[in-house]
Amino acid sequence: MGLLEQCEELFKTSNLYEVLGVCKEAPDSEIRRGYYKVSLQVHPDRAPNDELATTKFQVLGKAYAVLADKDQRAVYDEQGIVDEDSDTLDQDRNWEEHWRRLFPKITLQDILDFEKQYKGSDEEVEDLKRLYLQHEGDMDLIMESALCCTYEDEPRVKDILQKAIDDEEVPAYKAFTHESAKKKNNRKRKAKKESKEAEEMQKEMGLNSEDSLVAMIKQRQKSKENGFNSLISDLEAKYCKKPAAGKKGKKK
């Protein structure tokens, strides 16, 4: 499956600019910023319950690599295709290392700090309006794509979008204004299931804090000394350690 087909399957759009949340005219700096923002959403550290997180992260890296390359971007803009055989899209490339080189100072705490700053900001409002237009008011897709959002944020997200509709900044899509109760309840049940899984994960780690992502990583590091071997520790070993200098990370 080619890159554009993967984007369609994982991000509901084959448009590389839409995948990164930027416009076609965006300068390099904005494309880089867009990549950073979306990468926080799909980075395996931030989405441990998403079994597709690693694949999304890799595909996102490829999308950015195409748009960050002047020649490849020009071909994509003119013909709507990408060179699947280019070195940029090397199937064996370690996208985690590539991300670390681009954003070497980013830590899990940085991700948490970004989330606190992002929520309620003008930037979040603009991103939500873009997602609303992209998905034509489908709240399932909006909530799946919204950065730093959980089910608890849904009332806030709806208020933001309703205000945008009232102010005539976006059209009133029927999928949003007349969403069925069944659809809402299905989304709620799915969110509760994911929340329960997260709580069980925290109990397994012996943690009580709701905002415990960083603490979980530290606890997992200590647990290794006692032979702790679970899916969580495997995730930590794969994604939370910076590769040693001069060595490449293991390929999966």
| Least confident window among 9-18, 84-93, 119-128, 140-149 | 84-93
Q: Is 65 left (phi over 0), alpha (psi -120 to 50) or beta?
A: alpha
| Least confident window among 71-75, 98-102, 130-134, 195-199 | 195-199
Better-scored residue on pLDDT, 182 or 217: 182
Residue 5 has pLDDT above 90, yes or no: yes
Residue 147 has pLDDT above 50, yes or no: yes
* Confidence at residue 42, expressed as pLDDT on a 0 to 100 scale: 85
* Confidence at residue 40, expressed as pLDDT on a 0 to 100 scale: 81
**What is the domain extent for residue 174?**
109-179
- In the 8-state DSSP scheme, what is residue 244? P
Rounded Cα–Cα distance for residues 34 and 17 (Å):
9
CATH code at position 93: 1.10.287.110
Per-residue confidence band for 204, with pLDDT thresholds at 50, 70 and 90: low
Q: Which of 179, 203, 221 is the C-terminal boundary of a domain?
A: 179
Instruction: Tell if the pTM clears 0.75, that is, is over it.
Output: no
* Confidence at residue 105, expressed as pLDDT on a 0 to 100 scale: 58
Per-residue confidence band for 188, with pLDDT thresholds at 50, 70 and 90: confident
Residue 106 has pLDDT above 70, yes or no: no
Per-residue confidence band for 56, with pLDDT thresholds at 50, 70 and 90: very high
* Confidence at residue 156, expressed as pLDDT on a 0 to 100 scale: 95
Give 83's contacts (C-beta < 8 A, 6+ positions apart): 72, 75, 89
* Average pLDDT value for residue range 232-247: 38
Residue 24 has pLDDT above 80, yes or no: yes
Q: Are residues 24 and 94 in the same domain?
A: yes
Rounded Cα–Cα distance for residues 42 and 89 (Å):
19
Any domain includes 167: yes
Q: Are residues 50 and 124 in the same domain?
A: no
> Across the chain, how many H-helices and E-strands are there?
14, 0
Q: Are residues 20 and 77 in the same domain?
A: yes
Better-scored residue on pLDDT, 62 or 51: 62
* Confidence at residue 209, expressed as pLDDT on a 0 to 100 scale: 47
* Confidence at residue 215, expressed as pLDDT on a 0 to 100 scale: 46
Q: Which of 102, 126, 149 is the C-terminal boundary of a domain?
A: 102
Any domain includes 129: yes
Q: Are residues 122 and 67 in the same domain?
A: no
